[in-house]
């Protein structure tokens, strides 16, 4: 074989190999980060859509904080094959429904997985549905299930264009289903919770979702047409934990009349929806930052998604490849820490997170988990633990657990107690519904020998308790503090 032929064959081999390896791009806007193996143009378009969806919520609910504590990372797969490499295993078997997108919302991460070749009038309806749930998550302890799902169904058919947004377009599938089946009595609908068969059984669940959409749509449209606020009045009553049927009667009036109005609404020929001008949305695609990812960078991100997607075996396999090629890949160390943590191997997890911290991780979670696990195990260097907690707070000032953990760290050592109390108050302010922070705040005040202040914090915790178990936990602590005070009183008088 001649040298020229050999060189040509080598060139073609290299060319083929490089062509078979997908190029991954990272596109970053002010509020989202996206990675994609599709074109730069497609990546920018998708990120523009998400920025506009965020703007819609910010415009409709100006007093709300529309940005979650854990930033949102979007993975936009070019086609069905690349999407299937990441989607949940339950959907990979024959006969399962074909997904166009997944919203993976966990305590630590917010991931969106999209399939860019998906077809249909609303290919991203699943994403908009779950994004609405994310926006409503802070109200989940009081928001009734029918309204939570009704609003998600209402927003999932959103159409976003360059100059206009169409909100609340009717769901044709929901309408057909409702017209072919008997709807649920409203007194039953209003009491559906996570334990109800209407939320779990396929047939009952279908009518529940469809009817929740129809009632929400009816109330939204009629409130706008009649300049009333029945839906917001109902939500306000529910935020005060009123009985759901009583609250509905007070806000909506005669429920029998509302049931008849809903049946008539479902059968009507045409439906109104809202239009918003999005021409003034402050979104500049030219400001998006774009860079090409290395294959190991892209694989590390995909491995992290697989870990949170409960595909641990696939995640580990991909991580092994990443760490062989790049032993100092910080993201891979963090994900290995998470996998070991989920598997119950706490010390192994702590060591992976420790390595990530030493590699100068810019992940607030890596610093937080290293510190929290070191404190729990009674290991690690106190200086490094404190530094990691401070770094976690600096990297994500909205992450309440880091404030609470640092307060506990000081409390266990009986040092910097006044600073610990301030940290506890910050955690409570960020997550008022988290009872654990209030209990820890009371413990710090007791360390400062301020029992009256501790009791005040605990009694405030009673009103914030979300269920009987939390009420019992707080009440038990109140009883313990009061008993301790009673036992100390005679000694104090002698």
241 close to 231: Cβ distance less than 8 angstroms: no
- Largest alpha-carbon pair distance within the chain? 107
pLDDT value of residue 139: 79
Q: How far apart are CA 266 and CA 224, in angstroms?
A: 18
Element (H, E) at 199: helix 197-200
Residues 21-38: tens digit of each pLDDT = 568 999 999 999 999 999
Spatial strand order in the sheet of 164-167: 159-160, 164-167, 274-277
Spatial distance between the Cα atoms of 208 and 268, rounded to a whole number of angstroms: 20
Report residue 132 as tokens: 């609405």
Spell out the domain ranges in the chain.
170-272
CB neighbour class for 245 (10 Å; exposed up to 12, middle 13-18, buried from 19): middle
Residue-wise over 84-100: b if at least 16 C-beta within 10 A, else e?
A: eebbeeeeeeeeeeebb
d(C-alpha 184, C-alpha 172), whole Å: 19
CA distance 75 to 485: 56
Give the model's pLDDT for residue 197. Answer: 78
Question: Are 79 and 116 a contacting pair, CB within 8 Å?
Answer: yes
As a whole number of angstroms, the distance between CA 110 and CA 34 comes to 12
pLDDT at 280: 77
The predicted pLDDT at position 130 comes to 79
This prediction's pTM: 0.79
Write out the chain's pLDDT in tens, 494 residues. Answer: 555 544 444 444 444 444 455 689 999 999 999 999 999 999 999 898 889 888 988 888 777 778 888 889 999 999 989 999 998 877 776 655 566 788 888 888 899 898 888 776 677 787 788 788 888 877 777 889 899 989 988 998 888 887 888 888 888 888 888 999 999 999 999 998 877 777 656 667 688 889 999 999 999 999 988 999 999 999 999 988 899 999 999 999 999 999 999 999 999 888 888 888 877 788 899 999 999 999 999 999 999 999 999 999 999 999 999 999 999 999 999 999 999 999 999 999 999 999 999 999 999 999 999 999 999 999 888 999 999 999 999 999 999 999 999 999 999 999 999 999 999 999 999 988 889 999 999 999 999 999 999 999 998 888 878 778 888 898 999 999 999 888 876 544 44
Pairing of β 164-167 and β 159-160 = antiparallel
**424 vs 402: CA distance, rounded Å:** 10
Q: Enter the DSSP assignment of 117.
A: T
In sequence order, which ranges of 291-434 are alpha helices (DSSP H)? 295-308, 312-325, 330-342, 346-358, 364-377, 382-395, 400-413, 417-430
**Rounded Cα gap, residues 80 and 114, in angstroms:** 10
d(CA 129, CA 213): 12
What is the per-residue pLDDT for 22? 66
Tokens of 453: 């202040």
Long-range contacts made by residues 46-49, C-beta under 8 angstroms, separation at least 24? Answer: 46/74, 46/76, 46/114, 46/116, 47/74, 47/285, 47/288, 48/283, 48/285, 49/124, 49/160
The per-residue pLDDT for 95 is: 58
Q: In the numeric block, which tokens belong to residue 154?
A: 């209402």
Which residue matches tokens 């702590």? Answer: 350
Give the model confidence (pLDDT) of 257-289 as tens digits.
999 999 999 998 888 888 888 777 888 999 999
Asked if residue 53 lies in contact with residue 160, where contact means CB atoms within 8 angstroms, the answer is yes
């Amino acid at each position: 074989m001649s040298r020229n032929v050999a060189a040509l064959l080598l060139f073609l081999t290299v060319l083929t190999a490089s062509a078979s390896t997908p190029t991954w791009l990272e596109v970053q806007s002010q509020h989202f980060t996206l990675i994609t193996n599709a074109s730069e143009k497609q990546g920018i378009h998708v990120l523009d859509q998400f920025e506009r969806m965020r703007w819609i919520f910010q415009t409709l609910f100006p007093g709300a904080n529309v940005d979650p504590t854990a930033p949102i990372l979007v993975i936009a797969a070019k086609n069905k094959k690349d999407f299937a490499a990441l989607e949940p295993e339950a959907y990979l078997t024959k006969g399962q429904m074909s997904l166009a997108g997944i919203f993976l919302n966990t305590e630590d991460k917010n991931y969106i997985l999209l399939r860019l070749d998906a077809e249909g009038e609303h290919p991203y309806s699943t994403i908009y549905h779950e994004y609405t749930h994310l926006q409503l998550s802070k109200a989940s302890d009081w928001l009734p299930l029918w309204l939570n799902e009704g609003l998600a169904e209402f927003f999932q058919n959103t159409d976003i264009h360059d100059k206009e947004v169409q909100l609340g377009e009717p769901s044709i599938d929901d309408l057909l289903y409702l017209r072919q089946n008997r709807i649920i009595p409203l007194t039953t609908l209003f009491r559906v919770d996570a334990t109800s068969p209407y939320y779990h059984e396929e047939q009952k669940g279908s009518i529940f979702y469809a009817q929740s959409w129809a009632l929400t749509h009816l109330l939204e449209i009629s409130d706008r047409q009649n300049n009333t606020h029945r839906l917001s009045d109902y939500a306000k009553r529910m935020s005060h934990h009123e009985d759901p049927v009583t609250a509905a009667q007070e806000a909506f009036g005669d429920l029998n009349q509302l049931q008849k109005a809903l049946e008539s609404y479902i059968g009507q020929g045409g439906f109104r929806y809202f239009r918003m001008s999005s021409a003034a949305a402050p979104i500049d695609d030219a400001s998006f930052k774009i860079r090409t990812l290395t294959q190991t960078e892209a694989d590390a991100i995909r491995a992290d998604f697989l870990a949170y997607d409960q595909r641990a075996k696939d995640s580990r396999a991909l991580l092994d490849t990443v760490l062989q090629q790049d032993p100092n890949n910080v993201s891979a160390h963090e994900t290995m820490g998470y996998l070991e943590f989920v598997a119950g191997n706490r010390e192994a997890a702590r060591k992976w997170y420790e390595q990530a911290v030493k590699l100068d991780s810019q992940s607030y979670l890596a610093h937080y988990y290293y510190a929290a696990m070191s404190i729990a195990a009674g290991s690690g260097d106190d200086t490094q633990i404190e530094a990691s907690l401070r770094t976690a707070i600096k990297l994500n000032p909205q992450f309440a657990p880091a404030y609470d953990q640092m307060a506990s760290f000081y409390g266990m050592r009986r040092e910097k107690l006044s600073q610990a109390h301030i940290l506890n108050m910050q955690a409570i302010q960020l997550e008022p519904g988290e009872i654990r922070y209030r209990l820890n705040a009371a413990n710090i005040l007791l360390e400062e020998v301020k029992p009256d202040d501790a009791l005040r914090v605990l009694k405030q915790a009673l009103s914030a308790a979300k269920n009987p178990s939390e009420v019992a936990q707080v009440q038990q602590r109140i009883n313990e503090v009061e008993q301790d005070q009673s036992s100390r009183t005679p000694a104090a008088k002698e």
